[in-house]
Amino acid sequence: MSDQAAGGRMSDGTTETTDSGRTETTDARHTGMTGLERTALYKSLGNPLRRRILDYLGRHGEANSTVLARELGESSGTTSYHLRKLAEQRLVEEIPEKSGGRERWWRLLPFSHTTPDPATMSQEEFEAARHLALLKIDVDTQLFRRAHEEYRGPDGWAHVQRHGTWLTKDELLAFLREYRALLDRYGHSRETAPEGARPVNMRFYAVAEPVGEWRSEPTGP
């Protein structure tokens, strides 16, 4: 499971976002993490209020705790606390040029993270990652329904495509790299998006069929 965000939009699939920018910039802040750090990250991304804060910042670019409290129906003390926690997770940062005294303004940070093999996780990390994955599935299911409901033909904004083919594992990984390169090529950050651009939610799934035989030859990994 790979999560990326740039330009103030997260693509982990739960804040309703996808990259509105470059999709695979390697973010050193979220690589080489320990299991404990990943567990804390997954818990932050799975917290309902923190997800709403990240979503708001993704849509509006910046906010302070007072704005978030008003928009999300929470107290400013609560939103301030969660903003600080998100900053500890390196998901948001303070805007120095706008902050002064007790008024602190915040924006999203670029984010890139790939979940490791579950077999390498502790039980706590696995449960945190599993909870986050279930949240993503719920949101992705809603997106899938929306794409069908809002489809207005091949020239519209909503599209659904489903394909199947035969690939080796190396070919699949090469395809994924090229898919990410295409998003980098055509996508924009929130700040650099041209006139007429809209945030677009995109998902990529690849699931191989179980190991079997075809023409007397084994298939699968």
3-state secondary structure the chain: CEEEEECCEECCCCCCCCCCCCCCCCCHHHCCCCHHHHHHHHHHHHCHHHHHHHHHHHHHCCEEHHHHHHHHCCCHHHHHHHHHHHHHCCCEEECCCCCECCECEEEECCEEEECCCHHHCCHHHHHHHHHHHHHHHHHHHHHHHHHHHCCCCCCCCCCCCCCCCCCCHHHHHHHHHHHHHHHHHHCCCCCCCCCCCCCCCCCCCCCCCCCEEECCEEECC
Q: What is the pTM of this model?
A: 0.73
End-to-end CA distance of the chain: 19
pLDDT digits (tens, 9 = 90+) for 24-53: 334 445 667 899 999 999 999 999 999 999
The pLDDT value recorded for residue 67 is: 96
The percentage of residues in the chain with a pLDDT greater than 70, rounded to a whole number, is 82
Looking at residue 13, its pLDDT comes to 32
Enter the tokens of residue 106. 């915040």
Greatest CA span in the chain, whole angstroms? 73
Q: How much is the pLDDT for 164?
A: 93
Give the chain's mean pLDDT. 84
Q: How far is CA 23 from CA 3, 69, 130, 207, in A?
A: 9, 30, 23, 21
At position 196, the amino acid (one-letter code) is G
pLDDT, one tens digit per residue, over 57-77 is 988 889 999 999 999 999 999
Among 19-28, 84-93, 156-165, 174-183, which is the least confidently predicted range? 19-28
- The CA-CA-CA angle for residues 154, 167, 118, to 5°, reads 100
More confidently predicted of 25 and 211: 211
Say what the pLDDT of residue 189 is: 85
| CA-closest candidate to residue 135, choices 53, 46, 57 | 46
**% of the chain at pLDDT higher than 90:** 64
In this structure, the number of other CB atoms found within 10 A of the CB of residue 179 comes to 15
Residue at token pair 């990259």? 19
| pLDDT score of 5 more than 80 | no
Token match 């999300």: residue?
Answer: 72
Mean pLDDT of 155-176: 94
